[in-house]
Amino acid sequence: MKLLIKNGRVVDPSSKTDKKLDVLIDKGKIIDIQPKISAGGTKSIDASGLVVAPGFIDMHVHLREPGQEDKETIATGARAAARGGFTSIACMPNTSPVNDNRGVTEYILSEAKRNAAVNVFPIASITKEEKGEELTDMADLMDAGAVAFSDDGMPVQNSQVMRRALEYSKILNTVIIDHCEDKNLSADGVMHEGYYSYLFGLRGIPASSEETIVSRDIILAQKADAAIHIAHLSVKGAVALVKEAKKKKVKVTAEVTPHHLFLTDSLIETYDTNLKMNPPLRSKEDARALKQAVKDGTIDAFATDHAPHTLDEKDVEFDIAPFGINGLETAVPLFLDKLVNKNIIPISRFVEMISTNPALILRFENKGKICEGADADLTLLNLRKKIVVDVNSFKSKSRNNPFHGWELKGAPEMTIVGGKIAFSSSSLKNMVQ
């Protein structure tokens, strides 16, 4: 069945489009974009006053299935994504068992096909069991459907192993997603090392633990002429390294999370375990550098690092709580409120960072753009809608989110995946005819 989206403001950075257009969808594809499309008898959505963007892609999500379904499942994570405005998510391999063989990749894909409201793309591990020792069969994993490789959370410490992974990734035309952390430097730290870690009496994770590995892996990627994507950039020094590498034409891209942009280490005075994640919340100066890097293009993508945990796990002392926060349902309102509506970046730059660029980095040829023949994945946004974050309304299974109670302006109204409505806010439900 055809679907017509009328009167919306189409923002598509890939074609530098920002104007009022109608979009016609059929059989999961965009088939026409015109100032006025009249398609009688077609189901239509009045998107007056809304932004129509290519579907948002979160390239850094932890879905917990298989193995930790009490935190999240593929189905609940995908529902959270749809509500949060995401049409595609890429899931990290640190499940139980680790996604280091085609059996797990195939399981995730078949489960997603059965139960997921959005597109789910598995990221396989770089090394077997994420132990950092032996490479996985990357070609076989890609054949099974893996879209990238990462040992996120358990980053590869052995430089030779990372070098070989980059060399293989080059041959296979894929990308290594790098959680940059020197485990000897971060050791048993639980928050950013600095004034506040001393004040609060908590063990610190120095900025250098990120900077050293960013530096190492930029060098290794350059020598291998391979693509490397730096996950959740958090410190000023690492931003400078990425900026420098880009000048030298190294194939490096980088992402940033909402929490590293909008929260800082001083907040940990409450010892709220929903402020504990890895990399940790950094200093004000670091957050300022990240914002600048979003503006000047040093950082390419927004990602949530959605890391659900149960209440019980987080309801412990700060020291022993697990790292990670829930992010899929708060990211888009945060970016819209804090960056777009405050005129830090234009809406086109926001869409570029949350759709166009993730599609390019993950090599999704038919996503991240609104043009004839592209996949009918669309996110409809209301820039003026005011919301109050309520973790109890989450579609996700988990509630570990530090933004509870925040009043934000700007929210997703509808998420269309492959031409089907995966999520619709109550205000927009009436607009479908």
| Nearest distance, CB of residue 247 and Zn ion, angstroms | 26
| Nearest distance, CB of residue 334 and Zn ion, angstroms | 19
- Contact between 179 and Zn ion by CB under 5 A: the answer reads yes
| Nearest distance, CB of residue 153 and Zn ion, angstroms | 5
Closer to Zn ion by Cβ: residue 324 or 402: 324
The neighbour count for residue 143, using CB atoms within 10 Å, is 12
- End-to-end, the C-alpha distance of the chain in Å comes to 13
Q: What is the DSSP letter of 353?
A: I
Angle value at C-alpha 65, between 63 and 71, nearest 5 degrees: 65
Please, are residues 133 and 157 in contact by the beta-carbon 8 Å criterion?
Answer: no
| Nearest distance, CB of residue 179 and Zn ion, angstroms | 4
- Contact between 182 and Zn ion by CB under 5 A: the answer reads no
Point out which residues pair with 18 in neighbouring strands.
11
Catalytic residues: 305
Q: Which residue is nearest to Zn ion (CB)?
A: 179
Region binding Zn ion by CB under 5 A among candidate stretches 100-108, 144-152, 202-210, 308-316: 144-152
Cα–Cα distance measured from residue 290 to residue 231, given in angstroms and rounded to the nearest whole number: 13
Region binding Zn ion by CB under 5 A among candidate stretches 113-121, 152-160, 257-265, 322-330: 152-160
- Which of 152, 210, 300, 337 touches Zn ion by CB under 5 A? 152
* Distance from the Cα of residue 21 to its chain's centroid: 28
- Type of residue numbered 62: H
- Contact between 377 and Zn ion by CB under 5 A: the answer reads no
Identify residues 386-425 at the interface with Zn ion (CB under 5 A): none
Closer to Zn ion by Cβ: residue 79 or 179: 179
Helices (H) and strands (E) in the chain, counts: 15, 18
Size of the site for Zn ion (CB under 5 A): 2
Closer to Zn ion by Cβ: residue 24 or 233: 233
Angle value at C-alpha 61, between 55 and 67, nearest 5 degrees: 135
Closer to Zn ion by Cβ: residue 152 or 217: 152
| Nearest distance, CB of residue 115 and Zn ion, angstroms | 25
Closer to Zn ion by Cβ: residue 179 or 395: 179
Closer to Zn ion by Cβ: residue 6 or 306: 306
| Nearest distance, CB of residue 376 and Zn ion, angstroms | 31
Cα–Cα distance measured from residue 150 to residue 176, given in angstroms and rounded to the nearest whole number: 6
Cα–Cα distance measured from residue 293 to residue 303, given in angstroms and rounded to the nearest whole number: 15
Cα–Cα distance measured from residue 83 to residue 78, given in angstroms and rounded to the nearest whole number: 9
Angle value at C-alpha 308, between 268 and 270, nearest 5 degrees: 15
- Residues of this chain that interact with Zn ion (CB under 5 A) are 152, 179
